[in-house]
Amino acid sequence: MQEQEYPKHYCGVFGIYGHPNAAELTYYGLYQLQHRGQESAGIVTTDGKQFYVHKGMGLVPNIFTGEVLHKLIGQSAIGHTRYSTTGSSSLVNAQPLTVDCAKGKIAIGHNGNLTNAAALREELESRGSIFQTTVDSEIIVHLLAQPTRAGGHESALVEAVRRIEGAYSLVILTEGELIGVRDPHGFRPLSIGRMANGAFVLASETCAFDLIQAQFIRDVEPGEIVIIDANGLRSVQAFPEHTRRAFCIFEYVYFARPDSNIADRNVYGVRVEMGRQLAREHKIEADIVVPVPDSGNCAALGYSLASGIPFEMAFVRNHYVGRSFLQPSQFIRDFNVRVKLNLIGDLVRGKRVIIVDDSIVRGTTSKARVTSLKEAGAKEVHVLVSCPPHMNPCVYGIDFPEKSKLMAATNTHDEIRRFLSADSLGYLSLDGMVAATGKPKDAFCMACYDGRYPVPYDPLIDKHIMERRRGRAGGLASELEAEARHQRLL
């Protein structure tokens, strides 16, 4: 497969309690969250007695037909769309994961990445747990199924989530409950909505509520467990002493859909403001502002509004291009990049062009865009990016590559500009990016930019565990080591 230029997200989650069309509504919810994961998807429903499960590889509309949905019985359901960051891309790793244990039936969907996954897995295996997948999410299932010293169902939930570290927004289904959980830092989003018939809904983004006409109620708070059952919704704070917040700011920059509202901010509005901030920080004399669709649209519009330079959609996106694969010739590799966006040459010929994108990770795709503009006759090409340079990998559920593959981490500013063949290159400052959100800097995780990881992670401990595993498990260890490699700070 051709190396990706844009980072991938771990997944999207959805849940509903108390609706006769739970499976169908979950399908539409996942359809709205497809941008958060395109490798696999799954739905688990319950009628209060049994679980009904369907999972598959690929996109949501290709996995769930009308016949399949008709067999997913019950008034409560959870769903998941996945892109793999831990564990291989295979059906066995597709979520939601399910288990039938002494506590009853449990299904779980997880958005995020656990930073203590290797150590917990080692501990659980030493106590006899048998794992069926290589995803860190299965660790949570085992913890939930374990006998606990604490008294009561809610206390057992608290005890389980306090064992895990890192990023997690969870939807959990039992025969009689829908449960939502968010880690104490609030890395990943999770919102609560309600249908006209009173059914409660949980979703990674509010855009999922819009399609099914659910009313947004509020976000699940960091560290909160919400339990929804026949008596309504009740809340438990699992981390009352924790005050540090670390919402992933890249959700605003790139991942979330612009029609979603996250933490009381509309994503579209934040991205437009990022473009305005770019115009304040990088004043360039140019004839037109051109976005890289679709991720650069909002920031390019903001730059145009603030600078007065006309906005033009000179790149036209082909929405029907599938995944491109590594080919033996450079010619075909270049073609795979160009086929995704086609340039309207008449709009840029003889013009000084500002091209706006949300990020530069490896730089290969950005270079192709600049080359296309210059080949079409653009007089000048100025590249602007609506976030700071990415300097570090993410260990909390975004598939940023290892540090050696991040262009900004291995090249100077001018070296990047020359690689892109751009006349100038400008990034939005860290302060400018934060200012566009209207929130304080300490509300966010920005480790991929500044290297400050809110949850400590020791790759040496992880390496030691993997080496021990290799010694006793042979071939399985290589797959588990690959699982942990995604989590390391390299």
Residue 424: CATH number of its domain:
3.40.50.2020
Q: Which of 11, 248, 298, 394 is catalytic?
A: 11
- The total of other beta-carbon atoms located within 10 Å of residue 447's CB is 22
**Same domain for 332 and 194:** no
pLDDT of residue 400: 72
- Tell me if 476 is assigned to some domain: yes
Domain hosting residue 388, numbered range: 265-437
Strand partners, 107: 98, 173
* Residue 358 contacts residue 386 (beta carbons within 8 Å): yes
pLDDT of residue 130: 86
**Same domain for 389 and 277:** yes
**Same domain for 144 and 187:** yes
Q: Rounded to whole angstroms, how far apart are CA atoms 155 and 436?
A: 39
Q: Rounded to whole angstroms, how far apart are CA atoms 243 and 454?
A: 12
pLDDT single digits (tens) 292-320 = 998 899 999 999 999 999 999 999 988 76
- Tell me if 259 is assigned to some domain: no
Q: Rounded to whole angstroms, how far apart are CA atoms 204 and 187?
A: 12
- Tell me if 260 is assigned to some domain: no
**Same domain for 357 and 469:** no
**Same domain for 271 and 234:** no
Half-sphere exposure in the Cβ direction for 68 (13 Å, CA): 15
Predicted TM-score (pTM) above 0.85 = yes
- Phi-psi bin for 275: left (phi > 0), alpha (psi -120 to 50), beta? alpha
- Tell me if 451 is assigned to some domain: no
- Tell me if 5 is assigned to some domain: no
* Residue 366 contacts residue 390 (beta carbons within 8 Å): no
**Same domain for 367 and 228:** no
**Same domain for 297 and 237:** no
**Same domain for 303 and 389:** yes
Question: Which tokens in the block code for residue 139?
Answer: 């660790």
* Residue 109 contacts residue 80 (beta carbons within 8 Å): yes
**Burial class of residue 359, CB neighbours in 10 A (0-12, 13-18, 19+):** buried
Q: Rounded to whole angstroms, how far apart are CA atoms 170 and 97?
A: 12
- Tell me if 6 is assigned to some domain: no
Half-sphere exposure in the Cβ direction for 344 (13 Å, CA): 11
Residue from 471, 468, 464, 466 nearest 481 by CA: 466
What type of residue is 266?
N
pLDDT of residue 338: 65
* Residue 30 contacts residue 79 (beta carbons within 8 Å): yes
pLDDT of residue 90: 67
Q: What is the CATH number of the domain that holds 44?
A: 3.60.20.10
**Same domain for 353 and 233:** no
**Same domain for 421 and 291:** yes
Q: Rounded to whole angstroms, how far apart are CA atoms 272 and 264?
A: 16
Active-site residue flag, 445? no
**Same domain for 477 and 353:** no
- Tell me if 394 is assigned to some domain: yes
Residue 12's H or E segment, with its range, is: strand 11-17
pLDDT of residue 397: 82
Cis peptide before 229 (omega within 30 of 0): no
Phi, psi of 224 (to 5 degrees): -90, 145
**Same domain for 174 and 128:** yes
DSSP 77: E
Q: Rounded to whole angstroms, how far apart are CA atoms 451 and 175?
A: 42
Pairing between strand 352-357 and 341-343?
Answer: unpaired
- Tell me if 254 is assigned to some domain: no
Low-confidence spans in the chain with pLDDT less than 50: 1-4, 85-87, 323-333, 462, 464-467, 469-490
Strand partners, 347: none
Domain count for the chain: 3
